[in-house]
Structure 1
């Protein structure tokens, strides 16, 4: 993780500081953010991630960067009550999606469930895998080729 200051605004005794933050994960995923440190809180103004973050990961992003941010600006983060701290371990920007036949079968399940619910099946696959629309369409076509989904067009 890299943290570097962007700018700072001082008001009376307090200050609000903006920082650029970059997280690079072992799987090649990357998150760039503009974070604001004001008082004892951290908020995010802009987040760009490749691949896209899930809503759960986006919600946890402030927790991931809080310690290094406060260290960069010379402040101490608020201490969490005992028992509420998450176990530390390697984090990924998105959960690993199984490859091969198992992954194709799961893609087909997501696709069919979205169709039954009346929502966009491609968007459902995008949300489930964390991949772009193009990559999700490729995965859907692979699931079709594997026989887990019906052919797209009727053959004459």
Structure 2
């Protein structure tokens, strides 16, 4: 799999970047994706696959390209003593506290992004350096601990 920037448009302090993602498979199958990152969101503008993807494969496409796309669009962290920890040979990730303090900080990042009108999950992903799946799990733990409101209000049965 390869990911590379196609072009970028800047307006004031905001930037929107298009990335080309290519997945090649051993049997000769290929998927080309044009992904747009900007405004706190990621969207897919174009997907071309040879042979065509099934609906199940198309649904899994986001999982396939998520980590490489995140690595390509995440800014390179500035090394500072005590602030970064190496995760194998993949990349440096900010040190994030575990337990209650970590959940409290996740809730702060989440609410801050909501107030700014950006994607709260992407904001937590960028803050923690984790994948979307791991980030959703962390947000769920913060909800369960009471740092965030429940996702869906429970309805009481009429008596």
Provide TM-score, normalisation by structure 1: 0.47
Structure whose alpha-carbon radius of gyration is higher: 1
Provide TM-score, normalisation by structure 2: 0.46
**More strand per residue:** 2
